[in-house]
Amino acid sequence: MGEIRLQMIDSHISSHWWQELVKYFVNVGNSLEIRCWKEESEEIQQALQYGNLTEANYEVSIKGIVTKEFLTELLSENPQDKSIYNKMTKYFTINVDSGQRRFCSAHYGTEIYVMGVSDDDITFFKNAMSTYTEDDFSIAIN
- For the chain, domain boundaries: 2-141
How far apart are alpha carbons 56 and 38 in whole angstroms? 9
Amino acid identity, position 126:
K
**Per-chain mean pLDDT for the chain:** 94
pLDDT at position 132 over 70: yes
Q: Report the C-alpha gap between 120 and 124 in whole angstroms.
A: 6
pLDDT digits (tens, 9 = 90+) for 51-103: 999 877 788 999 999 999 999 999 997 777 766 678 999 999 999 999 999 99
Q: Would you report the helix, strand and coil content of the chain in percent, each value rounded to 5?
A: 25, 35, 40
Q: Residue 82: what pLDDT?
A: 62
Separation between Cα atoms, residue 101 and residue 118, nearest integer Å? 9
Please report, for residues 72, 75, 77, the alpha-carbon distance to residue 10 in angstroms, rounded to integers and kept in the order given.
Answer: 26, 21, 20
Closest CA to 116 of 87, 89, 142, 79: 142
Enter the pTM of the model.
0.94
